[in-house]
Every structure is written in C-alpha cells, then in structure tokens.
Amino acid sequence: MKHFVYILFSETANKYYIGETNNLERRLEEHLSHFFENSFTKIAEDWELFLKIECKDIFEARKIERHIKKMKSKKYLENLKKYPEIIKKLKEK
C-alpha cells in the first residue's frame, strides 16, 4: 500500500510540519480541523501542503520521515522541494 511523507507549511506560524500517512487527503483535513487535540498543527489555521513524497510502503515512508526530521533544517526542507534528486537519493538508501 502506498504511503506518503508530507510536509505542511504555515505562513502565519512560519513553521513546517512533517508527517507520514497512507491517505493524504484525509490526513490534511484532520490537521486543518484540529482532529488531534494535542497536535503541533493546532498552533495555526493556514497549513498548506508544501511537499509530498510518494513512497512504496510504510517502512520507506517512516525511514524518510525520520531522516527529514533529524535534519532539523528549514533550508533542507526547501532544498527537498527545489532539488527532486535529493528525494530520489533518499529512496535509494
């Protein structure tokens, strides 16, 4: 089953959020409606999809999600979008 790593961005909070899911549309709606009461995304109302990475399965998605979070860098997130070859290399690891 396909999975996605997704990155959301809030202009008002000037923050990114990184997650993974097998149903991107549902997950975005959950973030926007504050479905999860203690979620980080509760800090803003204007989350938008910044980037999505389609993965072959949950294991690949979680590995990539962990890697991206470990980088702790807004510049890295922006470079992921700017240079798709970075994503290709992440999938090959």
* pLDDT tens digit sequence for 16-69: 999 999 999 999 999 999 888 888 999 999 999 999 999 999 999 999 999 999
Provide the pLDDT confidence category of residue 78 given band limits of 50, 70 and 90.
Answer: very high
pTM (2 d.p.): 0.93
Region 4-25 average pLDDT? 97
Please give the tally of structural domains in the chain.
Answer: 1
Contact (CB, 8 A) for 20 and 6: yes
27 is in which domain, residue-wise? 3-92
Contact (CB, 8 A) for 6 and 23: no
Q: Look at residue 60 in the predicted model and tell me its pLDDT.
A: 96
**For every residue of the chain, which 3-state class applies, written as one string?**
CCEEEEEEEECCCCEEEEEEECCHHHHHHHHHCCCCCCCHHHHCCCEEEEEEEEECCHHHHHHHHHHHHHHCCHHHHHHHHHCHHHHHHHHHC
Identify the CATH number of the domain in which residue 71 sits: 3.40.1440
Q: Look at residue 36 in the predicted model and tell me its pLDDT.
A: 83
